[in-house]
Amino acid sequence: MSTDGAELRARLRALSPAKRELLTARLAERGLLHYLDGGPEPVEGEPDEVTVKQEALWRAHRGGDDGDFHHVGLLCGFAPDRTPEDVARAVREAVARHEALRCSYHPDGRGGVRLRGHDVDDVPVEYTVATSTDRAGAWRRARELAVRDGRLAFRLDRPPVRFRVTDARPAAVLLSVVAHDIACDRYGMRTVLLPQLCGAPASGGLRPRDVAHWQRRSLESGVVRQQLARRIARLAPGVPLALPDLGNRKGARLPVRIDAATTRGLDRLARSSGSSLFAVLLAAWGSVVAEAHDRADTLVGCCTSGRHRPELGGVLADLANTMVVRVAARPRPDQADALRGTRDELTAALGDGDAPFERVFAALTGRDTDVDGPVRDEDIRVRLTLDEADGVAELPGCLGVEDVDFGYAKTSLSLELAMGSDGGLAGALAHRPTDVPHERATELAAMLHARLTALSRVGG
């Protein structure tokens, strides 16, 4: 298979429509759809386009952002043989390398938004000396400072990112990074920025504006436009779950723990049905929500990193996209083929993973973004995430990494899981108590656990 996909695209054109659809589905399952089109490329000059997601965030926050709700934060510790000056130097090198850390957002005079690049020195790095050199105490204080930094609103006409280096030697040197979602996402912080701060070489030559340029052109006449049309057509009969929305984003979390034996059973079921563990979790979660609300199906938002194309692996930006997947209620746990519907819906969504959520959701709901305001990720009220190992634990000189929790729920009802070191699944059912009361969330968590247990037995 050639790396540019030209040979594969030529062969695809020679296939019958049925075979072409089958091959596309298989490529989607394996994350290889980037071979079917050219994808983003470096653009000559300085295009100033922003992605659809960035434009939506700018329209919502140009008069002042939402504080920590639309912020992402990371706290990491380095071995004490690295001085605070060394860490700050690595930060400035990263700022110079990644324009997402030094760009601001401005009206373009035509009702839209454009990028403006800044100098490295326009992005300040704060220094703090820890009051305690005990490692646990130093981490606790650094975490408090990161939360405080994140709860300050950003001005989007300045680079919306903050760095703080905390000297806690001899225990550690700590670094917190807080950014507005418009600049970068959590996945990019962990897999692009952090490795480079630990000394890993930079990769790739694409900038966020190159990606935005490709998306905009492709929305006019290209693969993204085709993907968008397919997503809207496939989802058109669906209606998002109408949970209460009282505007209070404060979140609560109910622990969810799936033991290793149950997880192995779910994995066996996934393999026997030609699916994946994520598809099994999606089928169970979506069906529980639909059943609890007396619906035939429900629409679930699934977050993707947006880096399924190899050329995007080294791009620091907010490339995450939310896929909307239809999930039927009441799967039959006595038959493995009951999962095929969810698997097929998920495969179709992955195959069209470049279609911007904002455009998909606006079309589904008939939303006029000029009148009703921009679509945001929280507008899909039910979500599922499954975090996989991202390799940060093996970074040389890194003593630990944690996401900064600002205490807000990203949507009304969200199942957030990760693979544990013991082979099980652990996480939480995050919810907004004003939208989904504690008692209701507890009931959903119990229903989910019972359904996953039943499904695991189908897998042997």
Parallel, antiparallel, or unpaired: how do β-strands 398-403 and 71-78 relate? Answer: antiparallel
pLDDT for 335 beyond 80: no
Peptide bond into 170 cis (omega under 30): yes
Distance CA 299, CA 325 (A): 6
Q: Compute the distance between CA of residue 199 and CA of residue 341 in angstroms, rounded to an integer.
A: 45
| Cβ-Cβ contacts under 8 Å for 10 (sequence gap 6 or more) | none
Which DSSP helix (H) or strand (E) runs through 234?
Answer: helix 223-235
Give CA–CA dist 25/248, Å, rounded: 40
Instruction: Work out the average pLDDT over 390-405.
Output: 84
Length reported for the chain: 460
Contact 36, 8 (CB under 8 A): yes
Report the pLDDT averaged over residues 151-180: 95
* pLDDT higher than threshold 90 for residue 196: yes
What's the pLDDT at 393? 66
Contact between 430 and 409 (Cβ < 8 Å): yes
Residue 10 has pLDDT above 90, yes or no: no
Secondary structure percentages of the chain, helix, strand, coil, to 5: 45, 20, 35
Report the range out of 37-51, 239-253, 326-340 with the highest average pLDDT: 239-253
* pTM higher than the cut 0.85: yes
Token digits of residue 79: 């071995």
Give me the chain's average pLDDT, please: 89
Mean pLDDT of 8-16: 69
Which pLDDT belongs to residue 412?
95
pLDDT value at position 407?
92
User: Could you give the CA distance from residue 248 to residue 24 in angstroms, rounded to a whole number?
Assistant: 42
| pLDDT tens figures, 219-236 | 998 889 999 999 999 998
pLDDT value, residue 5: 56
CA atoms 320, 324, 329, 331: torsion sign? negative
**The pLDDT of residue 217:** 93
Q: Is the pLDDT at 265 greater than 90, yes or no?
A: yes
Q: What is the pLDDT of residues 206-217, one digit of tens each?
A: 999 999 999 999
- Rounded distance between C-alpha atoms, residue 329 and residue 338, angstroms: 11
Residue 306 has pLDDT above 90, yes or no: no
83, HSE (Cβ side, Cα atoms, 13 Å): 3
Read off φ and ψ for residue 277, nearest 5 degrees. Answer: -60, -40
The answer to whether residue 434 scores a pLDDT higher than 60 is yes
- Amino acid 1: pLDDT: 36
- 214 CB-near residues (< 8 Å, 6+ apart): 39, 40, 41
Q: State yes or no: pLDDT of 332 exceeds 60.
A: no
Residue 262 near residue 460, CB atoms below 8 Å: no
115-124, Cβ contacts within 8 angstroms, sequence gap of 24 or more = 115/48, 115/49, 115/50, 115/209, 116/48, 117/46, 118/158, 118/159, 120/92, 120/95, 120/96, 122/158, 122/159, 123/95, 123/159, 123/161, 123/163, 124/162, 124/163
Pairing of strands 252-258, 425-431: antiparallel
pLDDT at 339: 84
d(CA 151, CA 145): 10
For residue 90, name the pLDDT band (cuts at 50, 70, 90).
very high
- Beta-carbon neighbour count of residue 445 at 10 Å? 18
pLDDT in the model for residue 3: 44
Query: What average pLDDT does range 81-110 have in this prediction?
Result: 95
User: Average pLDDT, stretch 397-426?
Assistant: 93
58: part of which helix (H) or strand (E)?
helix 52-61
Cα–Cα distances (Å) from 9 to 5, 35, 88, 217, 267, in that order, read 6, 8, 46, 20, 33
244 φ, ψ (degrees, to nearest 5): -60, 150
Mean pLDDT of 61-78: 91
Indicate whether 295 pLDDT > 60: yes
Whether the predicted pLDDT of 299 surpasses 90: yes
- pLDDT surpasses 50 at 2: no
Question: Is 60 exceeded by the pLDDT of residue 362?
Answer: yes
